[in-house]
Structure 1
Amino acid sequence: MAQPQPRRFAQIVHLKPSAIAAYKECHANVWPEILDKIKECNIIDYSIFFDNDRTLFATFKYTGTDIDADMDKMAALPRMREWWAMTDGMQESPIPGAVSSAEGPGWWKPLEEVFHTD
């Protein structure tokens, strides 16, 4: 049986101008537990881009079969919640009513894919 194609995701959040250097620094030195959990939760090819104004654009592929369960597993890791608290403090969510990456209606705004090539 053939492996299903990975699901592709893209999302945005805004970076506070005062946090640009700190955000880039923490992502240049991501905690190993964070990288391990991302991989364990079936996320590959994860990238974050900055438009040098205020928008962060993230893209990744999900290779698992139950993204909700994998995201719950990710959120259950105390070190991940610590990472999110740190990085959320550097960001402003475009989602109305957003509380944090760990709770609420979401933090990063999902984007609709309108085109891609293989």
Structure 2
Amino acid sequence: MTTSSEPRRVAQVVYLRPEYLEEYKSCHAAVWPEVLEQIKDSNIIDYSINLVSIPRPTLFATFKYVGSDWDADMARMAANPKVQEWWAMTDKMQESPTGAKGSKEGGWWLEAEEVFRLE
């Protein structure tokens, strides 16, 4: 998605390495302010990450993208040194279902297709 004036709801999944369960929860209980600021500056709102433990620990994230240039906003996020540091810390805790090697590569989280919504 490059440009659009319509808000976009996004849902994604990534596996969580079981040995990092508590560390992942702990770091997300105190997300760095610079990372939170960049998320907002990248036109992302209403962001949540949920954990499902069966059959293996899996993180399910949802957020609403309210910007008009997804590619530019995501590029700005990826260029932020503090976000890069955050990704380096959290990537070791996760395993991509897409086979990607890291968050900076793109496709680290698998995007889920929306099949139903009630507003």
The two structures have a TM-score, normalised by structure 2, of 0.91
Task: State the alpha-carbon separation in 1 of the partners of residues 93 and 112 from structure 2.
Answer: 21
Query: How many pairs were matched up?
Result: 113
- Secondary structure of the equivalent of 2:104? coil
Following TM superposition, by how much is the alpha carbon of 1:84 offset from its aligned partner in structure 2, in angstroms? 0.5
For 2:107, the equivalent position in structure 1 comes to 106
| Aligned residue in 2 for 1:51 | 52
Deviations 1:16-65 (A, max 9, x none): 00000000000000000000000000000000000134110000000000
Alpha-carbon distance in structure 2 between the residues aligned to 1:64 and 1:5: 8
Report the residue type matching 1:18 in the other structure: E
Q: Give the TM-score of the pair, scaled to structure 1.
A: 0.92
3-state SS in 1 of match to 2:45: strand
Q: Tell me the CA shift for residue 102 of structure 1.
A: 0.8
Identical-residue share of aligned pairs (%): 59
**In 2, Cα distance between the equivalents of 1:92 and 1:77?**
22
Please report how far the alpha carbon of residue 5 of structure 1 lies from its aligned counterpart in structure 2 after TM superposition. 4.1
Aligned residue identity for 1:79:
K
RMSD: 1.0
**Equivalence for 1:87:** 90
Is 1:78 aligned with 2:81? yes
Structure 1 residue matching 2:59: 3-state secondary structure: strand
Q: Which runs of 5+ in 1 are unaligned?
A: none
Gaps of 5+ in 2: none
